[in-house]
Amino acid sequence: MIYCPEKVADILIEIGLVSVEDEVHHIVDFPKLVDLAINQKTWKEIGLPQIPGSIKILSTDPSHSNSGNIFYGLLANVLHGMW
């Protein structure tokens, strides 16, 4: 589960990273999201000039959180080309 402000969700939908089905938001292009963060793309570059800085994805500690553990597993798969 990823939390973000509505304006961020809206732009992620607009650029094709997220889709909405039955009022539920789904990340449909996780590799692209990871790429944006790794390449330090700014919020301004994707259409949110009011948010300063680069895109970051933060997670709970995988040693203390199942969701953090799952997130890092997905991240490892993406980074090693298994997606």
Over 90: is that where the pLDDT of 81 sits? no
Span 7-48, pLDDT tens digits: 999 999 999 999 999 989 999 999 999 999 999 999 999 999
In whole angstroms, give the CA distance from residue 8 to residue 70: 23
The whole-number pLDDT of residue 83 equals 61
What is the phi/psi pair of residue 20, to 5°?
-125, 130
In whole angstroms, give the CA distance from residue 47 to residue 33: 14
| Reported confidence tier of residue 4, pLDDT bands at 50, 70, 90 | confident
The whole-number pLDDT of residue 49 equals 96
In whole angstroms, give the CA distance from residue 48 to residue 68: 27
Over 80: is that where the pLDDT of 82 sits? no
Which residues, in sequence order, are bridge partners of residue 19?
Answer: 26
